[in-house]
Amino acid sequence: MRYRKMGKTNLDVSILGFGAMRLPMVGSPGGLAGFDPNIPIDEPEALKMVQHALEQGVNYYDTAYGYHGGKSETFMGKALKPYRTKVLLATKLPVWNIEKPEDFQRIFDEQLKKLDTDYLDFYLVHGLGRATWAKMKEMGVLKFMDTLRAGGRIRYAGFSFHDEIKVFKEIVDAYDWDMCQIQYNFYDRNYQAGTEGLTYAASRGIGVVVMEPLRGGRLVDRIPAEVQALWDTAPVQRSPVEWAMRWVWNHSDVSVVLTGASTPAQLADHTRIVKDAAPDSLTPQELALFEQVQAVYRGMLTVDCTGCGYCVPCPNGVDIPQNFQLYNDTFLFKGAEFSSFAYNRFLNPEQRASGCTECLDCLEKCPQHINIPEELKKVHQTLGEKPSD
């Protein structure tokens, strides 16, 4: 395992972190995002993954209050209990569940209980953007973080982020943060915080943890022929997973890259890739190849969805990420036949885009600021069964 410093904390952190948002789920190999509270975690398989990560030297473990319907924290607490003093444990304050200042302490105490620990190494304010940042500031979240640090309940304070760079800089400058978590990959280098935000945070001694290095799997699953043809031109042959993760690790300002692995095999592949992941190890020719691949993807994707799952559960049961994945596949793979079959046969009626009532509940939750109701109309128009003549 390779290690880097986590900003001004001076902690040595494994460059690969274990993300517990997409743990394997019972009956669902590699479940989408772990936000369905009705599907339990496949704990034997998930425990294999934790054990493998520990054996490979991974020391950074990330979860959150809402992952796996609230069950991720409980699982991670059990899995890491024997190793608690040897690992760095991070979870997040769920801003969506905060209605009054008293909720800060109530939820934090609940999280410690679920994680079976009396302190956290890292506590992040989850999913900050313009609206949630304003709400949290008004309720006194920064004072609460000060109280937790002063009392030894958390060692370091951070935030995760989904919004534009201007808001990111405002948040960075507003508090003595120890670390932050941003979405970053070769496709999203100029999106949200992006490269500018990465550099900005690092220049202030803030450690940077990267989520979505594979863009929810979109950069590595069912590679379009045009993209694979470009990867095949490289003098050194690598898998799409290795290309994508090596690109993020190539940036020396990145402290940790979270694996969103949902199977033991995926995690084993990610821990294998680490050995060659030194900063500035990609050649100029290889970096130029990423530019070409990004351009091809940009030209093919229709809905800019990462499959993060923040928009679900939908009050009406619509599986929003799955609808968008099937819809994007019709453009990435040149045809709607497979996607239409899957939409009409594999999704339950309430899960299909046609179930959207335009309640707008999803709009404020989407980190990508997608106009979900409007896009769902297009999904159903494209993939829904057409009435017979």
DSSP string, 96-150: GG-SSTHHHHHHHHHHHHHHT-S-EEEEEEEEE-HHHHHHHHHHTHHHHHHHHHH
- Residue owning tokens 């704990």: 43
The first and second tokens of residue 83, run together, are: 């190793």
Handedness of CA 332, 334, 338, 339 (dihedral sign): positive
Kindly give, in sequence order, each residue whose CB lies less than 8 Å from that of residue 336, ignoring residues fewer than 6 positions away. 330, 382, 383
Q: Which residues pair with 259 in a beta bridge?
A: 18
CA neighbours closer than 13 Å in the CB half-sphere of residue 304: 12
- Per-residue pLDDT at 190: 84
Contact 178, 150 (CB under 8 A): no
Contact 145, 123 (CB under 8 A): yes
Q: What is the pLDDT along the chain (389 residues), one digit of tens a residue?
A: 999 999 999 999 999 999 999 899 888 654 444 556 678 899 999 999 999 999 999 999 999 999 998 999 999 999 999 999 999 999 999 998 999 999 999 999 999 999 999 999 999 999 998 889 999 999 999 999 999 999 999 999 999 998 889 999 999 999 999 999 999 999 888 888 999 999 999 999 999 999 989 987 778 877 888 999 999 999 999 999 999 999 999 999 999 999 989 899 999 999 999 999 999 999 999 999 999 999 998 888 889 887 788 898 899 999 998 899 889 888 876 677 878 888 987 788 999 999 999 999 999 889 888 999 999 999 999 999 876 53
The first and second tokens of residue 235, run together, are: 């003098």
Distance (Å) of CA 26 to CA 38, 39, 262: 10, 7, 12
Distance CA 319, CA 221 (A): 19
pLDDT in tens, 102-124: 999 999 999 999 999 999 999 99
Residue 114 phi, psi dihedral angles, 5° rounding: -65, -35
Exposure pattern of 286-296 as b/e (b: 16+ CB <10 Å)? beebbeebbee
Distance CA 166, CA 140 (A): 22
Nearest to 246 by CA among 216, 222, 218, 210: 210
- Per-residue pLDDT at 244: 95
pLDDT in tens, 314-359: 999 999 988 998 898 888 766 778 788 889 877 889 999 999 999 9
Distance CA 321, CA 306 (A): 8
- Per-residue pLDDT at 54: 98
Nearest to 210 by CA among 153, 252, 266, 263: 252
Residue 62 phi, psi dihedral angles, 5° rounding: -120, 130
Contact 204, 252 (CB under 8 A): no
Kindly give, in sequence order, each residue whose CB lies less than 8 Å from that of residue 58, ignoring residues fewer than 6 positions away. 1, 14, 16, 17, 18, 271
The first and second tokens of residue 47, run together, are: 């425990």
**Could you tell me how many residues make up the chain?**
389
Question: 200: how many CB neighbours lie within 10 A of its CB?
Answer: 20
